[in-house]
Amino acid sequence: MGKEPSHLATDRTPGPFRVRCLRCDTIVESWHRDVSAPKGATIGMAYCQCGNIGADSLVFQDFGRVLFRNANSYEVVTDKTERPE
């Protein structure tokens, strides 16, 4: 593997990757093992209650991989989408 691509800049903040399953309305939260996660947090792949989606953090906040059984049945939850009015 080569160098990190430039879009993985160091100014990104380590943090959780969150995905909402639109089928069971569960928010799945995943933390990378290299990040100091809060107690009880899921490290690595995390699944929603109905098993439709899995989320896997890639270290940085709002950045990760999603595994899904049904396309268009999930949404990535970012601080922006969670911000109160």
Quote the CA–CA distance of 54 and 33 in Å, as a whole number. Answer: 16
Q: Give the distance, in angstroms, between the CA of residue 3 and the centroid of all CA atoms in the same chain.
A: 23
> Which DSSP symbol is given to 8?
S
Nearest distance from C-beta of residue 35 to Zn ion, angstroms = 24
User: Do strands 17-21 and 27-30 pair parallel, antiparallel, or not at all (unpaired)?
Assistant: antiparallel
| Binding span for Zn ion by CB under 5 A among 6-14, 30-38, 49-57, 63-71 | 49-57
Residue 24 engages Zn ion in binding (rule: CB under 5 A)? yes
Nearest distance from C-beta of residue 75 to Zn ion, angstroms = 12
Residue 22 engages Zn ion in binding (rule: CB under 5 A)? no
Residue 41 engages Zn ion in binding (rule: CB under 5 A)? no
